[in-house]
Structure 1
Amino acid sequence: MASKLLDRLRRTLFKEGALSSEPDGHGADEFPESSELDDDMECVSDRLGGTLCFEGDGMVDSEELGDVSGPDSDSDFFGESIEDACSSTDTSPIGPSPKSNLLTRQLQENWRSSRARSIPDKLIFEVTDASVVHETNSKYVLYTLHLINSGTFDKTPGIITRRYTDFERLHNRLRRRYGADMEAVYFPRKKLRKNFAAETIAKRSRAFEQYLSHLHSVPDLRTTPTFLEFFYLGDLRAGQMLMRVGRYQEGLVSLLNALRLQEKLGCAQLLQFQKAHWFFNLSALVYCFQELEQLSEAQEHCERALQELAPSHEALQQRQWHPLLIPLLQTNVRLSWKISKDKRRWEALLQEIQERGMDVTNLPTLKECLIRESLQDNEGKLRGKSRGEDAL
């Protein structure tokens, strides 16, 4: 706007001959071209624009704004750490008002929560121990891995112990069934010698971490039964065997670890074998907690399973429901009565099933269902041992 006004004034003066009478001949040089003024305006616009930096030490390309302060300035809040956001007001002789402190705290909490939401959870595979095991006719290295969720402090990592042949079996099975996805996957090979040297074990530990991380990064591989069962199925079988012989406390350790592994791998959202294994694990935990007189924990896991197993109205009409549904309903009603929790919803569901002609009195108990369950892998095999099975 200013450049247009000056340009119009210059043309008017030239038209009246006012500038032609000047002896020194400066004339039009005293009035810059409109393009030059436009450039100056662009520079001003650039200087006022600035760039906010959320992770750095300050703002970028903003020398003129370096001394800016006040309620509209973002330099304190984003250029510095969030904890020091109000350092200038804290040292003020007048002191901050309660209202401004409240606003600042709200902004800090919103910023922290939005930043936490922006960090995606990632599953980390970490070898925490590698020990040489001597048996009668064999010698091997046993690797202990922790599965940890990043983004937050993971207090309950999933833990597995595997040897080289376990990883090799996993690799061969994945190559056989998912060859196209496994073409670019590197697997550490055995050496002819020095397999038990500390340097070799350390390098192989890092290689196994990278190997599992790579598999988990491929969507078509991380949801396959072969990959998932490599982690949790051994503990699930061990828990079942320990439960069969009445060693409920030891079985609880294996089952809880299997549940943590299933949760971290997302098995609750999957179907077929993984969903069946998920419900078996919750039901086995219910029974073990119940036998150990930990009734609140038993009822909590029972409720968790029933929330997913509860059939729709159409399924009830067609008498289609999970085999564990009725034993879990009966167990949950008893547990809820003992610990004084509301059981009306599950009593009503059990009553509705009975009204549809289902005899719920002559069905297998929860323990009988769990002991009879065959925990096969997706290839129908039962091989493989875990820590719990070794103890039997």
Structure 2
Amino acid sequence: MELNGGYCVQLFPQRHSHQAMFLRRGNDDDIEVGMNEALENLALDEEPDTRLGGGTLSFNEAAGAHSQASAHIKSWANVQRGNIVLSTGMSGDVVGSSATNGVRATAPSLKFEVVYARTIAVENQKKYVAYTVMIRKDGAQPDPNPAVVERRYTDFLELYASLRRENLALMGNVAFPKKVILGNFGPSVISERSSCFEELLKHISADEKLRNSSGFNKFLQSRELNEARMWMNEKRYDQAATFLENIFRLLNKLHTDRHPEVLFALCRLVACCNADPMATSAERFAELALRRYEAVSDADLLRFYVPLLQLCVHLWWRLGKEKRMLEERLEDLKRRGINVDGSPSLLDALIKDGKF
């Protein structure tokens, strides 16, 4: 069934109370792709492909209950995200070794796309629609590590309302779909809402003030952080890491490498992976965190540098890696008057500071 906006709807027999799936068709007109070395570096270096296994966001909001969301996050990790179409032409600058082929270079493009929607029925509650939003940064190649979040209408409404209260001048011309009494689950309503949600997120991400707002930050990660904390309290670090990695990948697409929220997310991920004796990705994320911290001077961020270094010293020792350089960094910090001895663990420091 074809809907406005290029959505394809397929209805399934009731299964786990999830009834509808929406997939956006690849739209060649929306994709302008050229050679982009920065994106390739991002894929190969800054975002190591170490997505962890895990347990479909079901929004089980009963107190103390897990949503089993990690499987949903993981299930979208390798989804085909449309065809990549090279943009060629006789005019315009060309970059890199592909210049002879006439390929025009474009910067990575940040995109928010509602790729899936499902109706969910929770016992003793009204059923509702959950929308899966994929966040990706496409360039010469599709983003190899898209992030996904699943949110319902009320989550988007709360985001919209909070930003209008705080930044009316920046949000005055942004449309938002109204609540409807009947037909909430109809394809046309869901399609219209999906398009509005995409435009809302696009508008927010394009403005630095909105992008850095507390309301947007809460929308992007609070649900997953709560779930990760629950899993960590049960010492199920493998489950928690799936959420934390998704948060890191998402924020890393929105902000600069050394943005505070990105570094906090990366430190949470490192601490979680390190706590799991079976994890194999702690080293790679720890190395990435060390590189990110090399040019940091923000005092709020540096509070976590000593615990990070100490974690890495122990991790390197455990892995049989040379740790002398890390120990020398700690000694240098100590000579500068920074308290190194008796420092809390990275995880404890994050929890104490309210970053977890």
TM-score bucket of the superposed structures, by smaller chain: 0.5 to 0.7
Which residue of 1 is the match for residue 115 of structure 2? Answer: 128
Structure 1 position 167, deviation (Å): 0.6
- 3-state SS in 2 of match to 1:368: helix
* Alignment partner of 2:134 out of 146, 165, 187: 146
Q: Distance in 2 between matches of 1:362 and 1:220?
A: 38
Residue of structure 2 aligned with 1:206, choices 163, 188, 195? 195
Unaligned runs of 5+ in 1: 1-76, 80-105, 377-392
Q: Deviations over 1:59-98 (max 9, x none)?
A: xxxxxxxxxxxxxxxxxx977xxxxxxxxxxxxxxxxxxx
Aligned mate of 1:306, from 278, 290, 297: 290
Q: Which has the larger radius of gyration?
A: 1
Pairing 1:292–2:276 present: yes
Cα 1:268/1:241, change in 2 over 3 Å? farther
Check if 1:280 corresponds to 2:264: yes
Q: Which residue of structure 2 aligns with residue 222 of structure 1? A: 211
* Aligned partners of 1:336 and 1:342 also within 8 Å: yes
Q: Which moved more, 1:164-173 or 1:146-155?
A: 146-155
Q: How far did 1:356 drift?
A: 4.6
Distance (whole Å) between structure 2 residues aligned to residue 296 and residue 369 of structure 1: 23
Verify: 1:332 aligned to 2:316, yes or no.
no
Percent of pairs identical after alignment? 31
- The 2-side partners of 1:208 and 1:326 are apart by 41
Structure of higher RCO (CA pairs closer than 8 Å, 6+ residues apart) = 2
Separation in 2, partners of 1:320, 1:284: 15
Tell me the alpha carbon deviations over residues 288-309 of structure 1, each in whole angstroms, 9 at most, x when there is no partner: 3223336762122223223343
* Residue equivalent to 2:327: 347
**Whole-angstrom CA distance in 2 between matches of 1:250 and 1:295:** 11
CA distance in 2, matches of 1:176, 1:134: 32
Q: Deviations over 1:368-387 (max 9, x none)?
A: 223434248xxxxxxxxxxx
Long gaps (5+) in structure 2: 1-87
Would you tell me which structure has more strand in proportion to its own residues? 2
Give the C-alpha shift of residue 121 in structure 1: 1.7
Q: Alpha carbons of 1:296 and 1:177: their partners in 2 closer, same or farther (altered >3 Å)?
A: same
Is 1:374 the counterpart of 2:343? The answer is: no
Q: Is the 8 A contact 2:205 2:254 kept in 1?
A: no
Cα drift, residue 162 of structure 1: 0.6
Task: State the 1:341 CA deviation.
Answer: 3.4
Seen in structure 2, the aligned counterparts of structure 1 residues 214 and 364 have a Cα distance that, compared at 3 Å, is closer
Partner of 2:125: 137
1:252 correspondence with 2:241: yes
Superposed counterparts of 1:190-201, under 5 Å: 190-201=179-190
Decide whether aligned partners of structure 1 residues 310 and 269 sit closer, same or farther in structure 2, where only a CA change above 3 A counts. closer
Q: CA–CA distance in 2 between the matches of 1:168 and 1:243?
A: 30
Question: Normalising to structure 1: TM-score of the pair?
Answer: 0.59
Structure-2 change in CA distance of 1:111 and 1:172 (3 Å): farther
Q: Which runs of 4+ in 1 moved over 6 A?
A: none
Asked whether the 8 Å contact 2:264–2:355 carries over to 1, the reply is no
Give, in whole Å, the separation in 2 of the partners of 1:299 and 1:197.
47
Tell me how many residue pairs correspond in the alignment: 263
**Residue 150 and residue 304 in structure 1: after superposition, are their counterparts in 2 closer, same or farther (change >3 A)?**
closer
Partners of 1:295 and 1:359 lie apart in 2 by 30
